[in-house]
Amino acid sequence: MYKPLIDFKPGKLRVAGLISGSGKSLLSIIHRQKELESTSGCGFEVVGVFSDNPDSKAKQIGLDHHQPVFINDIHAFYQARNKSIRDFAAREEFDQDTADFLKELRPDIVIYAGYVWRTTDPILRQFVCINCHPADLSVARNGRRLYAGAHGVRDALAAGETRLHSTLHLVTAQIDHGPILLISDPVPVEEDPGLDVGARSIKYLRLLNEKSRRLCSLGIEKIAAGAFTRDSEGNLFYEGQPIPEGYRLSA
């Protein structure tokens, strides 16, 4: 027997989103919501915005789209406690503040519309979370995802990949290792004479960010429509097709 990926209450799938900078990924979801509401009807709704960056567009997007907003400066949070950014106990405390905000919104799903390096129990035990990573997380060796982490695009280029992809996946406590939902259509890699490693990485990260925005809106739309399901053993399916390594979009 198949069960929906998220067994949300009757009505619309409630979505809360993280903004780390421009907010373009979350805006893609909001714009898709408005587009569907004006045509065939929409099965999801964005219900709130949060950010760990006071310089992000979170406040403005909240004002523009009438969304509650929570901004908690992560660097100020750690500095006030004299803690390293990699202190996991402090991260749990930080995440608890976010979880308290989210609890009021009652989201069915939380989407990280921007790169998040770690999520801890205060959020994971209460909410289903998905993240979009700018590299292909299906590429693995000995159980290790080769392009996980903050430098996935650079690592993929260094490995000689000729086609790059972004990945939408479920979030777990292990960084970038949750089950994969969608993999974007490819970004072809060119020879790029004259560009150094850093410039190449920036070039392709920008292109892959465009793919990620599409994955975010499509993923939420498909989750709301019940396209993703699980069997009794937890295996994932997309529109009835098994997806042990995610559903790969074609060009």
Residues 6+ apart with CB under 8 A from 65: 30, 46
Which amino acid does the sequence have at 228?
F
Reported pTM: 0.95
User: What amino acid occupies position 7?
Assistant: D
**What confidence score (pLDDT) does residue 10 get?**
86
Is 249 within the bounds of a domain?
no
Cβ atoms of 156 and 189 within 8 Å: the answer is no
SS3 content of the chain, % helix, strand, coil (to 5): 35, 20, 45
The pLDDT of residue 1: 78
Residue 142 located in a structural domain: yes
Residue 83 lies in a domain: yes
CA–CA distance, 62 with 46 (Å, rounded to integer): 11
CB distance 136 to 156 below 8 Å: yes
User: What does the pLDDT read at residue 114?
Assistant: 66
Residue numbers in the chain where pLDDT is lower than 70? 114-115, 251
Q: For the chain, how many structural domains are there in total?
A: 1
Q: How far is CA 46 from the centre of its chain?
A: 14
Task: Provide the pLDDT for residue 215.
Answer: 96
Q: Is residue 251 a part of any domain in this protein?
A: no
CATH number at residue 49: 3.40.50.170
Query: Could you report the per-residue pLDDT of 177-227, keeping only the tens digit for each?
Result: 999 999 999 999 999 998 999 999 999 999 999 999 999 999 999 999 999
Residue span of the structural domain in which 222 resides? 3-243
The answer to the question of residue 250 being in a domain is: no
Asked if the structure places residue 196 within a domain, the reply is yes
Residue 242 bridge partners (DSSP): 237
What's the gap between Cα 218 and its chain centre? 12
Q: Is the residue at 248 inside a domain?
A: no
Contact 100, 126 (CB under 8 A): no
